[in-house]
Amino acid sequence: MKVTLIGTLPPIKGLSPYCQELLKSLSKNIEVEFIGFKKLYPDFLYPGGTRVKDNNYKTPEIKNAEIRNILTYYNPFSWIWGGLAAKGEIIHAQWWSHVLAPIYFVILSICKIRRKKIVITVHNVLPHENNKMNNFLNKAILIFGDKFIVHNKKNKENLSNLYNIPKDKISIIPHGILEVVSIKDISKKEAREHLKIPQNKRIILHFGNIRNYKGLDVLLESLKFIREEIEDIILITAGKPWENWEKYEKIIRNDSISDIIIKKLDFIPPSEVEYYFSAADVVVLPYK
């Protein structure tokens, strides 16, 4: 049996670590090919000119796997070729971004005509920005699936209820740990020295791209109350804003908390991630 995976690989950021580990694991037991992207999104979709790629992050050689990065967002012929070139009896598509709906619609339509079995891993059952258009695009892609994969029981319930998908077609496979970089067991002292943050403070970490649903505003608004109880705190917010930062800055000014905030408002490369988590006393992710 041969499986065709559709998704992204390094140096493209985002979902690529997940796809890379999935490809490596599957290739140990079956023949697998990967159809990926040369160019994923237009640059204007990324805030502040954030790069879609990290050229320091590369896909290692994977035995028993054929990798073809042939898709581009701007060339519909590459979408058609993606559908026609897929060799697997099973197509396993990673579905995570509504911007890619036209590309996936073309590829999966062709695969369906070719009588391929289609498995879709649904990474965001409930869209981050929940609106009628995103729900429509979800339905337009999910209609092609013969089987579905989600990461937890709640996602299975939501997928079945929202899109009328029988539960026996949905499998739960936990996300797992992605070995993007080797863990170095960095000490708290070493991590704080590397990041140039105080050794004698209690560090709160908010990590990841900054978007409304991630609730950084909730954390900022609570900070003035926290400092009344714990004087020696510092909040590190590490990640790229995907929206206007001014609304967060307004909270910081109004609550006079700028002296206890360290802002690292950019993409944090994989090689730096361990330093942030090792430096922190607590991680706070107040998703809405």
Query: Regarding predicted confidence, which is higher, 48 or 21?
Result: 21
Q: Which has the minimum average pLDDT: 21-30, 222-231, 263-272?
A: 263-272
State the average pLDDT for the chain.
Answer: 91
Mean pLDDT of 9-19: 89
Query: What integer pLDDT is reported at residue 50 of this predicted model?
Result: 53
Name the pLDDT band for 41 (thresholds 50, 70, 90): confident
Question: Which pLDDT band, with edges at 50, 70 and 90, does 276 fall under?
Answer: very high
Burial 28-45 (b: 16+ CB within 10 A, else e): eeeebbbbbbebbeeeee
Residue pair 97/11 in contact (Cβ under 8 Å)? The answer is: no
Instruction: Kindly state the average pLDDT of the residues 26-37.
Output: 95
Confidence of residue 112 (pLDDT cuts 50, 70, 90): very high
CA 288/CA 281 separation, integer angstroms: 23
Give residue 64's pLDDT.
Answer: 82
Determine how many CB atoms are found less than 10 A away from the CB of residue 86.
25
Helix/strand/coil percent split, the chain, to 5: 40, 20, 40
65 or 91, which is more confident? 91
- Give pLDDT, residue 247: 94
Cβ contact 121:95 at 8 Å: yes
Percent of the chain predicted with pLDDT > 90 = 73
pLDDT exceeds 70 at position 159: yes
Residue 16 confidence (pLDDT) above 50: yes
Helix, strand, or coil (residue 264):
strand
| β-sheet bridge partners, residue 71 | 37
pLDDT at 37 over 80: yes
Those residues whose C-beta lies under 8 Å from the C-beta of residue 47, and which sit 6 or more positions away, are 240, 241, 242, 243
pLDDT at 183: 76
pLDDT for 49 equals 47
| Domains of the chain, CATH where assigned | 2-172 (3.40.50.2000), 188-283 (3.40.50.2000)
Give the global pTM: 0.81
Residue 54 has pLDDT above 90, yes or no: no
pLDDT band at 267 (very low <50, low <70, confident <90, very high): confident
Which residues, in sequence order, are CB contacts of 6 under 8 Å at separation 6+?
Answer: 34, 35, 36, 82, 86, 91, 92, 93, 94, 104, 107
Q: Is the pLDDT of residue 52 over 80?
A: no
Q: Is 213 helix (H, G, I), strand (E, B) or coil?
A: helix
Q: How confident is the model at residue 178, as a pLDDT? A: 75
